[in-house]
Amino acid sequence: MNRGRSKSSVSIAGVLAIAFLCLVYFTVRRGILYNLTVRRAPTSKMNAVAYGLSPTRVGSKSGYRDGAGGMVVNPQFDDAKDFSEGLAAVMVGNRRTGKWGYIDMTGNLVVSLRFERALSFSEGLAAVADGDKWGYIDKTGKFVINPQFGYAHSFSDGLAAVWVADSATGKWDYTDKTGKLAIKPQFDDAWGFSEGLAAVKVGGLWTGKWGFIDKTGRLVINPQYLYGTSFSKGLAAVEVNRDGIPSHGYIDKTGKFVWESTE
């Protein structure tokens, strides 16, 4: 009996290990492609430069320094994001039970600490999690789109990618700023719109391919890439399979490669 339980435990452990390695692989690959893309999300260092403040960790707390290194907002938060559109998301508490809100550039709390998760403001709205559902608030903290999505990304080009239904069985779609779905839940993964196009994955989360759609949901570039990112200045970083070897490069809006790695 002990040997039977031991074999079962080893089998379960093996399956979990394989699943974990697959998750790490796809996460790392996604990170590599993201670093290749010429367009970054309108947060992070761009906002730090634009607003002159950046989050700084001092001991176990985070505050904000200006460009000269002076502390403008004293360390008091357990997590803090960059400023975007004049506000920054901050969290108080531990990772599991802490709550997120938003401060202005003087450190005043303008949206109370009440959300499980929070993204930076973009196009006047911010995606936040209220319980296990995501919605969008304005800068007063009022919900403009009620919590209803399994996950949500920031707005870009007037639309935001959202996970419709629960986190296990849903599909990605896009919502406008009234909460109306713009296309139809059908994508296995999705980036935000940029320059009128968005990278989407179809054919399964693990085996699907990436292509590009316009705002009507029409496939402008057929799914054929192992990975794809947002367009910037007419180019998007993608990954393809060349005889079993991943190759990275940039495509134009017709799907034609303008540069591809030779390694």
pLDDT in tens, 134-192: 999 999 999 999 999 999 999 999 999 999 986 567 999 999 999 999 999 999 999 99
Residues 223 and 212 occupy one common structural domain: yes
Cα angle 24-97-126, degrees, rounded to a multiple of 5: 75
Digit-coded pLDDT (tens) for 1-33? 444 444 444 455 554 454 444 444 444 444 444
Average pLDDT, the chain: 86
Instruction: Provide the domain count of the chain.
Output: 2
Q: Which of the listed residues 98, 119, 154 is the one where a domain comes to its end?
A: 154
Q: Which of the listed residues 154, 186, 216 is the one where a domain comes to its end?
A: 154
Is the pLDDT at 113 greater than 60? The verdict is: yes
Residue 217: DSSP 8-state = S
User: Residues 65-73: contacts with CB within 8 Å, 24+ apart?
Assistant: 72/105, 72/106, 72/107, 73/103, 73/106, 73/107
Residue 23 domain-assigned (yes or no): no
Residues 183 and 133 occupy one common structural domain: no
Residues 69 and 95 occupy one common structural domain: yes
Residues 262 and 190 occupy one common structural domain: yes
With contact defined as beta carbons under 8 Å apart, do 121 and 87 qualify?
A: yes
pLDDT tier for residue 50 given thresholds of 50, 70 and 90: low
Q: Which of the listed residues 139, 154, 169 is the one where a domain comes to its end?
A: 154
Average the pLDDT over 114-121 and give the result. Answer: 98
Residue 19 domain-assigned (yes or no): no
Cα 189 to Cα 90: distance, rounded to the nearest angstrom = 27
**pLDDT for 56:** 97
Cβ partners under 8 Å of residue 235, min gap 6: 38, 250, 251, 252, 258
| Domain encompassing residue 65 | 42-154
Residues 164 and 143 occupy one common structural domain: no
Residues 160 and 150 occupy one common structural domain: no
Cα angle 235-237-238, degrees, rounded to a multiple of 5: 125
Closest CA to 32 of 242, 252, 237, 262: 237
Residues 146 and 200 occupy one common structural domain: no
The end-to-end CA distance of the chain, in Å, is 53
Residues 257 and 160 occupy one common structural domain: yes
Residues 160 and 250 occupy one common structural domain: yes
Residues 126 and 199 occupy one common structural domain: no
Cβ partners under 8 Å of residue 129, min gap 6: 115, 116, 117, 118, 147
Q: Cβ-count burial of 2 within 10 angstroms (0-12 exposed, 13-18 middle, 19+ buried)?
A: exposed
Cβ partners under 8 Å of residue 91, min gap 6: 77, 78, 79, 80, 98, 99, 100, 101, 113, 118
Rg value, the chain, Cα? 21
**pLDDT for 205:** 84
Residues 202 and 127 occupy one common structural domain: no
